């Protein structure tokens, strides 16, 4: 059974059991251990999935994390479990202490339903305060399933996870900040929007005056934009769509875009790279020119595919098991980028040199034997 199908079956199990799992121990056995079994870990082998792993902190002895996943005898992932009915927001400090005391690269705080994934993006060997992946299995999104699959025992790759962790973390933080600002704009946000439209002093009374106006503008914009999209969707059901699809990028596409820019950073100006959506694929273009496509990514089928153009623009297709597989084609991406670099050919001019001056000769030209300055030619 594929991971995605096994996960969906497991989520159905959670729906059945969640109201009966009242303690931490029952959450471990009924929800948490089976979850890591789905990820492919041998949960009955303490050399791989070790319960009550010792993580002594300084002079404080006997500190134990609920589980540690060991790779080659060393802790790679620490897991701290809580009861299914407990919120996780106030329990990360305990896991922070364990993380510092071990060589683990990842830490997971879970109650069997929600899973918060942490690493050390901000400071090496110190667990970040914010998770880079925050999942509620009862409301899981497609891109989160893709990220979860990277933690499978058979395909665990630390560098690949770290590459996407930064994007995931800051993407989540940005969205949370945007949500807060839309609900109640801060003074800084009000000042930012007042800057180009209000020339007077931005005093506190002015800020308070414009705060509700800005909040209403945010809400109106969202409502109008949503209504416009709904109207487009409704029209699409009755009228064939002949226009270009809405440009909405998914996390996978942004991850691919980041990898492509990294591959081309030494070849061309990555600020001139663009994403363009079509009904069947996502194109990555140079100078936003459809004839200068670097590659295409097909995600809307069961098989992810990377498409690259050869010298004659013939499509070369490469199947991907994961977005990170794009890195295997760095040399080909660079070769494609080099083909789009314009190197002007210097123009060779014919010059007539005389004691009266040098003259640019037209092409074609005829020889004129008149002596003296030339009025029929351009002096250079």
Q: How confident is the model at residue 308 (pLDDT cuts 50, 70, 90)?
A: very high
What is the distance between the alpha carbons of residues 56 and 58, in angstroms, rounded to a whole number?
6
Mean residue pLDDT of the chain comes to: 83
HSE-up of residue 217 (Cα within 13 Å, Cβ side): 11
Question: What percent of the chain has pLDDT above 90?
Answer: 33
Question: Cβ distance 6 to 38 under 8 Å?
Answer: yes
Of the segments 86-100, 242-256, 343-357, which one has the largest average pLDDT value? Answer: 86-100
Q: How confident is the model at residue 40 (pLDDT cuts 50, 70, 90)?
A: very high
pTM for the structure as a whole: 0.55
C-beta atoms surrounding 376 within 10 Å: 9
How buried is 39 (Cβ within 10 angstroms: 0-12 exposed, 13-18 middle, 19+ buried)? buried
Question: Which top CATH class is 3-165?
Answer: alpha beta
Q: What is the pLDDT of residue 269?
A: 87
Q: How confident is the model at residue 321 (pLDDT cuts 50, 70, 90)?
A: confident
Q: What is the pLDDT of residues 129-188, one digit of tens each?
A: 889 999 999 988 888 888 898 999 988 888 888 888 888 888 888 888 988 898 899 999
Q: What is the pLDDT of residue 101?
A: 86
| pLDDT of residue 351 exceeding 90 | no
Q: How confident is the model at residue 51 (pLDDT cuts 50, 70, 90)?
A: very high
What is the distance between the alpha carbons of residues 186 and 182, in angstroms, rounded to a whole number?
9
The pair of three-digit structure tokens given for residue 203, joined into one six-digit string: 């005093």
For range 65-88, the mean pLDDT = 90
For range 20-48, the mean pLDDT = 92
Q: What is the pLDDT of residues 270-293, one digit of tens each?
A: 888 888 888 788 899 998 888 899
The pair of three-digit structure tokens given for residue 63, joined into one six-digit string: 């500190």
Find, among 141, 125, 132, the residue nearest to 167 by Cα.
132
| pLDDT of residue 298 exceeding 70 | yes
Q: What is the pLDDT of residues 201-260, one digit of tens each?
A: 989 999 999 999 998 888 888 877 777 766 665 554 444 433 344 444 577 888 888 899
The pair of three-digit structure tokens given for residue 246, joined into one six-digit string: 């809405």
Q: What is the pLDDT of residue 253?
A: 84
For range 322-346, the mean pLDDT = 83
| pLDDT of residue 347 exceeding 90 | no
């Amino acid at each position: 059974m594929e991971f995605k199908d096994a996960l969906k079956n497991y989520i159905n199990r959670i729906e059945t059991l969640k109201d009966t799992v009242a303690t931490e121990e029952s959450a471990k056995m009924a929800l948490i251990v089976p979850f890591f079994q789905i990820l492919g870990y041998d949960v009955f082998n303490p050399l791989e999935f070790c319960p009550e792993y010792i993580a002594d902190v300084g002079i404080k002895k006997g500190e134990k994390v609920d589980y540690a996943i060991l790779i080659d005898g060393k802790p790679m992932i620490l897991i701290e479990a809580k009861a299914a009915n407990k919120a996780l927001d106030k329990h990360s400090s305990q896991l922070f202490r364990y993380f510092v005391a071990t060589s683990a690269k990842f830490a997971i705080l879970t109650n069997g339903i929600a899973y918060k994934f942490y690493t050390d993006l901000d400071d090496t060997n110190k667990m970040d305060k914010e998770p880079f992946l925050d999942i509620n299995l009862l409301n899981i999104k497609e891109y989160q399933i893709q990220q979860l699959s990277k933690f499978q025992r058979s395909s665990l790759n630390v560098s690949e996870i770290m590459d996407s962790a930064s994007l995931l973390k800051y993407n989540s933080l940005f969205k949370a900040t945007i949500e807060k600002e839309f609900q109640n704009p801060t003074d800084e946000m009000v000042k930012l929007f007042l800057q180009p439209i209000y020339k007077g002093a931005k005093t506190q009374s002015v800020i308070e005056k414009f705060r509700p106006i800005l909040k209403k503008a945010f809400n109106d914009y969202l409502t109008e934009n949503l209504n416009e999209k709904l109207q487009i969707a409704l029209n699409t059901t009755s009228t064939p769509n002949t226009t270009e699809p809405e440009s909405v990028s998914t996390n996978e596409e942004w991850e691919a875009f980041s990898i492509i820019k990294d591959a081309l950073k030494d070849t061309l100006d990555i600020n001139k790279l663009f994403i363009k959506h079509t009904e069947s694929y996502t194109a990555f273009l140079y100078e936003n020119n459809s004839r200068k496509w670097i590659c295409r990514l097909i995600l809307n089928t069961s098989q992810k595919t990377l498409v690259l153009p050869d010298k004659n623009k013939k499509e070369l297709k490469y199947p991907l098991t994961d977005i990170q597989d794009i890195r295997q084609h760095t040399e080909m991406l660079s070769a494609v980028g080099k083909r789009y670099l314009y190197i002007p050919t210097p123009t060779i001019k014919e010059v007539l040199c005389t004691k009266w001056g040098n003259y640019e000769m037209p092409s074609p030209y005829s020889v004129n034997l008149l002596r003296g300055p030339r009025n029929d030619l351009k002096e250079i």
